[in-house]
Structure 1
Amino acid sequence: MQARTSALLPVDEALRLLLDGVEPLAAERLPIADCGDRILAADIVSLRTQPPFDASAMDGYAVRSADVSRLPARLKVIGAAPAGRPFAGTVGPGQAVRIFTGAPMPEGSDCVLIQEDATTIADNVIEAKETVSARRHVRARGLDFTEGQPLLNRGRRLDPPALSLAASANHAALDVVRKPLVAVIATGDELLPPGSIVGPGQIIASNGFGVAEIVRSAGARVLDCGIVADDRDAISATLDRALEAGANLIVTIGGASVGVHDLVREVLTARGGELDFWKIAMRPGKPLMAGTLGGRKIVGLPGNPVASLVCSYVFLKPLVARMAGRLHEADLRTGVLGAPVSANDQRQDYLRAAIRREDGRIVATPSMIQDSSMLRVMAEAGAFIVRAPFAPPAEAGEECRLLVLS
């Protein structure tokens, strides 16, 4: 595809191009113990019936309803049925079997006299204090599900209830969507890892940690390729390392703008990569880049810390979620402004804002300073106020569109 570089691409169009043709990765079969929070790649049906027999729903006595339909009623206790050890005999007229929750109902019995409603009056003799109707306190065979019954659909996230249901249905392993491997590459001669002694002109690399966490939250694994100098050969070698590791998506941070040392786009095109688009009508995040290299998606994020995070929320998270087979919908809501905002230019603006609940509404107050280098402001923001291109000025109390983060 020919890159769209002559004009700033609208955000919605860029997102559409980025997601176009992206499908969940192929399935892998894993032990059920390793399937938590994964996405089912195939429908599953039950391999058994649950419960597999009529079972007691309470602790008490398995009895015949005919024997306890009128009071007083005295019964002889002829045995016990703990869970896992069924009573082998038959309950006859005037008889009872001590039973516990989950145990099979003995032959001949059809209800349970709960232990609170029974009084022991002699050895192995009880008296019922309440009448009991047929099937009372009995879980019927197949009450939950039956063998062959469809239980979970493809695309379902295996949250705790779904995982327990699959296990109860006797599935020891499940087909789940593979987790994408996302390579994250930070570029810049000035960057040092956290904990370093910072020299003149140097800064601590921070963007990659937030970007990686957004990627993980969307269902992917992260390959941290570290910090790469502004050098064509070093960038190219790191791209090779990501490809050889089997990365499904490569994310670069920095180096995609127009400066002399912004080399990522140059290296990508020199290696035969295809550039889908570059330069987006958004603030912050104008120099966002997207394309393919070696059949893998590549996204070039801006180097400014806040811009890289904004672009990750808007573009990277839905892309990774789709590759991981996950349903992702941006948390877009309507709120009201807590402070006035000025008119917007041709770029869609994402203003960092603190949010609070007031009279059932979300009140969003934008930070006074929106510089894309300020991570403290970003960390304090609960939402972005999304301002459309050429939006007019707005006063406090007017409605606004929000992308809620937390």
Structure 2
Amino acid sequence: MPALLPVAEAQQHLFALATPLPEELRPLAQAAGYYAARNVAALRTQPASDLSSMDGYAIRFADLPGPWQVIGESAAGRGFAGEVAPGQAVRIFTGAPLPPGADTVLIQEEAERDGARLTLTGEGPLRLGGSVRPRGLDFAEGEMIIAAGTRITPARLALAAIAGHTELPVRRRVRVALLSTGDELAPPGAPLGPDQIPETNRLLLAALLADLPVELIDLGILPDDRAALEAAFRALDCDLLVTTGGASVGDHDLVRPALEAAGADIDFWKVAVRPGKPMMAGRLGDALVLGLPGNPVSAFVTATLFVRPLIARLAGAADPLPRPRIVPLGEALPATGPRADYLRAELIDGRAHAATIQDSSMLRTLARATCLIVRPAGAPEAKTGDSAEILDIA
């Protein structure tokens, strides 16, 4: 394995470690944001009968240009009980079932009624079936409506409901434990010692993962103490442990040795990405482990590239990776080195403008950013207006 693993290879290593979690049935009202565990088929046909798409009169196309005798009315949820014979029409409203014998709707703006007598005043329907939504226009019973691995969006929830479902097969929630390490860290709002700063990464990560099907477990802040870290790792009960800080090679970077002492197998360590190089991944018992850098921007970038896709994979997503898009650059960018750069940037008038300072400790530039400019390793200098990939982050 190379000393620095390219981002795409690191993502594939993670996916090889991850097996989608067990399936469960969830009520529709609780299924938003999950991923379908298998294909979902319609339990009914929609619409179940031919419906009018306009207010007007149900007629036989062959009877044009009329006149007709109006023999009744069809409304949504209350159709006409009889049958339309030649020369007859039924007053019909949007969403109402087309009565037997009728095959077309004459819209009310092109008709005039005098008692039961109906005459054509406009151009009339131009084709058989005009202003009619035919049976099965949306879907037929047995047709696949949601593919396995597809995220359950609000629209797909509504689709499942109208297709006759009350619950959906999904993967259970991913239990994600968050842990920060470092003697310099204190909880936000707590009194700070002379060399301490407020800890932000657990808050940042919890918010970043909130739209995914997760159960978050807050393990708090642990000091730079190998015994304390090892004890916490041995007591682990989750699907995924995400640590921040202590993942590098300094004397106080104790996450890796503590994980290994607790029985973890480290799959890779160090990724060819900037910011975020000192990131590790492995397995500890039944749990996957991701060790992120402590600098908040590095934690954000690596969580975007690795934590979110890994959770989506565990949750059954067919396509768990973030999707870049192409935009022009707002200014020239220098050539990159052996690591891929993920630059905080803002979209202004459709162009990506990179922040002037990209230091990984600076949260203010991250808060202002709306996207990350993706610059591959070994990329040449880019000119203003050149196309670049971005990942939207706001």
Give the alignment's TM-score, normalised by structure 2. Answer: 0.85
Match of 1:182 in 2: 176
Q: Which amino acid aligns with 1:310?
A: V
Match of 1:303 in 2: 294
Aligned Cα RMSD in Å? 3.0
Q: Which amino acid aligns with 1:139?
A: R
Match of 2:139 among 127, 138, 145: 145
Partners of 2:140 and 2:4 in 1: CA distance? 57
Give the Å deviation of 1:213: 2.9
Query: Deviations along 1:103-132, whole A, 9 cap, x unmatched?
Result: 22223333323222332323x444332455
8 Å contact kept, 2:233–2:259? no
Partner SS for 1:20:
helix
Q: Please list, as runs of the form range in 1=range in 2, the aligned pairs for 1:342-381 lying within 5 A after superposition.
A: 346-357=338-349, 362-367=351-356, 369-381=357-369
When residues 193 and 60 of structure 1 are mapped into structure 2, their CA distance, relative to the original with a 3 A threshold, is same
Give the Å deviation of 1:391: 6.1
Partners of 1:203 and 1:149 in 2: CA distance? 56
Give the Å deviation of 1:302: 1.1
When residues 234 and 146 of structure 1 are mapped into structure 2, their CA distance, relative to the original with a 3 A threshold, is same
Question: Quick check: 1:127 aligned with 2:119?
Answer: yes
Structure 2: gaps (5+ residues): none
Moved more, 253-262 or 133-142: 133-142
Query: Deviations along 1:176-217, whole A, 9 cap, x unmatched?
Result: 233322111112222222222323111101122222233335
Question: Quick check: 1:224 aligned with 2:218?
Answer: yes
Partners of 1:400 and 1:52 in 2: CA distance? 49
Larger Rg: 1
Question: Quick check: 1:278 aligned with 2:269?
Answer: yes
8 Å contact kept, 2:60–2:86? yes
8 Å contact kept, 2:33–2:152? yes
Partners of 2:156 and 2:198 in 1: CA distance? 42
When residues 169 and 250 of structure 1 are mapped into structure 2, their CA distance, relative to the original with a 3 A threshold, is same
Partners of 1:51 and 1:370 in 2: CA distance? 55
Question: Quick check: 1:31 aligned with 2:27?
Answer: yes
8 Å contact kept, 2:305–2:322? no
Match of 1:316 among 302, 307, 315: 307
Match of 1:57 among 53, 59, 66: 53
Partner SS for 1:216:
coil
8 Å contact kept, 2:39–2:148? yes
Question: Quick check: 1:405 aligned with 2:386?
Answer: no
Query: Deviations along 1:284-311, whole A, 9 cap, x unmatched?
Result: 3232121111121101111122221222
Partners of 1:125 and 1:398 in 2: CA distance? 67
Moved more, 224-233 or 265-274: 224-233
Partners of 2:56 and 2:326 in 1: CA distance? 53
Q: Please list, as runs of the form range in 1=range in 2, the aligned pairs for 1:328-343 lying within 5 A after superposition.
A: 328-331=321-324, 333=326, 335-336=328-329, 338-339=331-332, 341=334
Q: Which amino acid aligns with 2:360?
A: S
Match of 2:88 in 1: 95
When residues 125 and 237 of structure 1 are mapped into structure 2, their CA distance, relative to the original with a 3 A threshold, is farther
Q: Which amino acid aligns with 2:365?
A: V
When residues 338 and 253 of structure 1 are mapped into structure 2, their CA distance, relative to the original with a 3 A threshold, is same
Give the Å deviation of 1:400: 7.6
8 Å contact kept, 2:41–2:142? yes
Q: Which amino acid aligns with 1:324?
A: A
Q: Which amino acid aligns with 2:392?
A: L
Partners of 1:182 and 1:323 in 2: CA distance? 11
Give the count of matched residue pairs.
389
Match of 2:38 in 1: 42
8 Å contact kept, 1:340–1:396? yes
Query: Deviations along 1:120-166, whole A, 9 cap, x unmatched?
Result: 323x4443324556433333323332222333321222223333222
8 Å contact kept, 2:330–2:385? yes
Partner SS for 1:210:
helix
When residues 46 and 9 of structure 1 are mapped into structure 2, their CA distance, relative to the original with a 3 A threshold, is closer
Q: Please list, as runs of the form range in 1=range in 2, the aligned pairs for 1:229-248 lying within 5 A after superposition.
A: 229-240=223-234, 242-243=236-237, 247-248=238-239
Partner SS for 2:209:
helix
Give the Å deviation of 1:266: 2.1
Give the Å deviation of 1:240: 4.9
Structure 1: gaps (5+ residues): none
Match of 2:101 in 1: 108
8 Å contact kept, 1:337–1:395? no
8 Å contact kept, 2:352–2:373? no
Partners of 1:101 and 1:386 in 2: CA distance? 50
8 Å contact kept, 1:335–1:364? no
Partners of 2:301 and 2:171 in 1: CA distance? 27
